[in-house]
Structure 1
Amino acid sequence: MTSNSPVISCKNVWKLFGHDPEGYLAKLPSGHSYEDIRQDGYIAGVKDVSIEVARGEMLVIMGLSGSGKSTLVRCFSRLHEITGGTIEVEGQDIMALSEKELIDLRRNKMGMVFQSFGLLPHRTVLDNVAFPLEMRGQDRHARRERALEVIKLVGLEGREDYFPRELSGGQQQRVGIARSLAIEPDIWFLDEPFSALDPLIRREMQDEFLRLQEMLGKTIVFITHDFDEALRLADRIAIMKDGAVEQCDTPDRIVMNPATEYVRKFTEDIDKSRVVHAGALAKADLKGEGDAISADATIQELASLLVNDSREAIPVVKDATPIGALVRKEALQVLVGAS
């Protein structure tokens, strides 16, 4: 995460499906549950959600099928009209935008990648990647140059003239990512982009995606139902259930301090030592003694040091700046699964 300035600000957002949802929402009693709403003949796709996405952040939204994660992201780009609440993108109320303004926002600011690759079968890799630039009206030379640039970026150089049927699933997904990147979006929405891939290719695509994010620093909202994937990719994770956000926090805090029983069940089988970082356990009012450890190191990575060290408190640094000290006993509890 590179800035606390919100790019997307979502306040008390509802998306109800049913007859006259606005009228129903206006009369909705406070505290009405998801099931109460369903009994009234409505579905709460998004239920009173307030969340912000900071510039350069990767927010991962996760939950089981039907939890509302895809519906929420479609509200962010106004692919769904919300029933209530407000959504601002870079300070603009997107519900107040005209159709032309909304199209311009999507074309110039937003990139979208979905689980289904959506490639044009009779177009080459180059032509698939250049397609959104063609729709934008960019001249042939400029769009070819940009398409070649992003094809190289995603590791498909040399396959510009291949057709989708000649590519593996992972390569097809890279084409989808390259096509989305071609328009140089500030905001990137990805809806379960790797879920159709086999585990090995999925892991490779996650690595590639992290590499791209390190280079490009996009503001990203990434949807998944896979908690391991969320832990690998996220700056913060929002866990959804029945249209509502149960908890939105860093991976460290979610596994250490689940806010609800539902979140606890999500995290109970996770090896916390590979998720929790030294920085998350560092106490600012402690100094410790001896050589410092990096705030970015996981407890698992520090296992040998923690077992063999005798210090009670170990100094922790973030980008060479002291941020406090780690209580060794607490870290060992995480390591052995006692926390």
Structure 2
Amino acid sequence: MSSSRLETEHLYKVFGRRPGDAVTRLEQGADRDELRDDGSTAAVIDASFTVAPGEIFVVMGLSGSGKSTLLRMLNGLLEPTAGHVRFDGDDLTALGDRELRALRAHRISMVFQHFALFPHRSVRENAAYGLSVQGVPRAERERRADEALALCGLAGWENAWPDELSGGMRQRVGLARALATDADLLLMDESFSALDPLIRRDMQDQLLELQKTLKKTIVFITHDLNEAMRLGDRIAVMRDGRIVQTGTAEDILVRPADDYVASFTQDVDRSRVLTAAAVMDPETHGDEADCDCPTATPDTPFTELCALSARLSHPVAVLTEDGELAGVVRRQRLVGLLGDRQGAAEPCDSPRVPDRAALTGGKLTARA
């Protein structure tokens, strides 16, 4: 199945009087509050990013940050006040209504927060709805709908009605409907936020498992940072209409762009996100020592690093697959990331990690 590149370039959306003038003022340095005093609301301000083929790109922020408005400009449901949206090289902002409808019918699918199922249609008919809009013959659309339902764990429920399903199952039907059209781009607007926590996590697992096979280009909107960290290959954090940081989960946790991002991430469970590669310090040599001690790899999870550090009197060595020393993880670093900022700021008085030869001579992995 194919996937395509999505790009936005200096995207603005202003509601109210004289939106074009408002964009000019924003470009000159005006802020949201100044525009609001004049009767305009700047929902999205100068948003530029690229989503690679096959990537899950998560846009997150609090209510009112502009993330849902941004999403609706990606498939033409809202027309940008300024800027461009390009999908697989085509400028969506230059397309007419008929071309946009064809794009949404064939190449871009949307998964909504509240399922948006037709109560008078069966599960199969709901999953096949996008294909019926495309004009696909009945036998073909039912076959493809059944395949999509099976991918989403709903084989055997094809003839059921939406009110016979749990919330999680109804959301799976919504996802199957998007997958059945074989669209290149999936836009998911708070798609799991209406679900109970356990069902929500199950849907996250389902999406990640499907993505291993389908490799769709996905833009996922959420206000939940833990969900963003779990799903996103990269994450864009929005505040007051602007994207304030874009990066991997590790980038945002370890290198927040400003105090807002740092405060936003302070309660995240870092042990579920960080690996040795994200928290290690570069190290090129060590003291000569005869040491048969456990080491980590760049992919070693945070929790295992903590366990290793507690057993060692020196920093944890991080070795590559070839046995080369990539860096070390110091205990103070781990303590700091767990929330003890005072401990993280103290000077490190741990002994230097044993040298590369000593480590590789008696190499053990962190998982051993």
Give the TM-score taking structure 1 as reference length.
Answer: 0.91
> In structure 2, what is the Cα distance between the partners aligned to 1:101 and 1:8?
17
Instruction: Say if 1:215 and 1:25 are closer, same or farther in 2 by CA, change over 3 A.
Output: same
Answer whether contact 1:314 1:328 (CA < 8 A) is retained: no
Q: Which amino acid aligns with 1:157?
A: A
Pick the aligned partner of 1:121 from 119, 122, 136.
119
Q: Tell me which protein shows more strand as a share of its residues.
A: 1
Matched with 1:72 is 70
CA deviations on 1:229-265 (whole Å, 9 max, x unpaired) are 1111111111111111111111111111211222122
**3-state SS of the aligned residue for 2:228?**
helix
User: Is the CA contact (8 Å cut-off) linking 2:105 and 2:133 kept in structure 1?
Assistant: no
> Which amino acid in structure 2 is aligned with residue 149 of structure 1?
E
Query: Normalized against structure 2, the TM-score is what?
Result: 0.84
Among candidates 93, 100, 103, match of residue 102 of structure 1: 100
Determine the C-alpha separation between the residues in 1 that align with 2:248 and 2:237.
11
Alignment of 1:268-279 (within 5 A): 268-279=266-277
Aligned to 1:327: 329
Q: What's the CA shift string for 1:96-116, capped at 9, x where partnerless? A: 123232222222221110111
After superposition, the CA RMSD in angstroms is: 2.4
2 CA distance for matches of 1:323 and 1:46? 45
Q: Is the CA contact 1:272–1:337 (under 8 Å) kept in the aligned structure 2?
A: no
**Residue type matched to 2:175 in 1?**
I
Kindly indicate whether the alpha-carbon contact (under 8 Å) linking 1:13 and 1:85 is maintained by their aligned counterparts in 2.
Answer: yes
Deviation at residue 16 of structure 1 after TM alignment: 0.3
Q: Paired residue for 2:187? A: 189
Letter in 1 for 2:172: R
Aligned residue for 1:238? Answer: 236
Q: Using a 3 Å threshold, how does the CA distance of structure 1 residues 235 and 314 change in structure 2: closer, same or farther?
A: same
For the structure 1 residues 135 and 336, does the alpha-carbon distance in structure 2 shift closer, same or farther, using more than 3 Å as the test? closer
In 1, Cα distance between the equivalents of 2:36 and 2:111?
A: 31
Percent identical residues: 44
CA contact (8 A) 2:318 2:329 kept: no
Q: Report if the CA contact (8 A) 1:279-1:316 is conserved.
A: no
Residue correspondences, number: 334
Distance 1:40 1:92 in 2: 35
Task: Please list the CA deviations of residues 176-225 of structure 1 after superposition, one character each: whole Å capped at 9, or x if unmatched.
Answer: 00001101121111001111111111111111111111221111111111
Q: Confirm or deny: 8 A CA contact 1:9 1:87 kept in the other structure.
A: yes
1:198 aligns with 196
- Paired with 1:229 and 1:98, the residues of 2 have a C-alpha distance of 35
The residue correspondences of 1:1-339 to structure 2 (distance < 5 A) are 7-26=5-24, 28=26, 30-283=28-281, 286=284, 293-310=296-313, 312-317=315-320, 324-329=326-331, 331-334=333-336, 336-338=338-340
Kindly name which structure, 1 or 2, has the bigger radius of gyration based on alpha carbons. Answer: 2
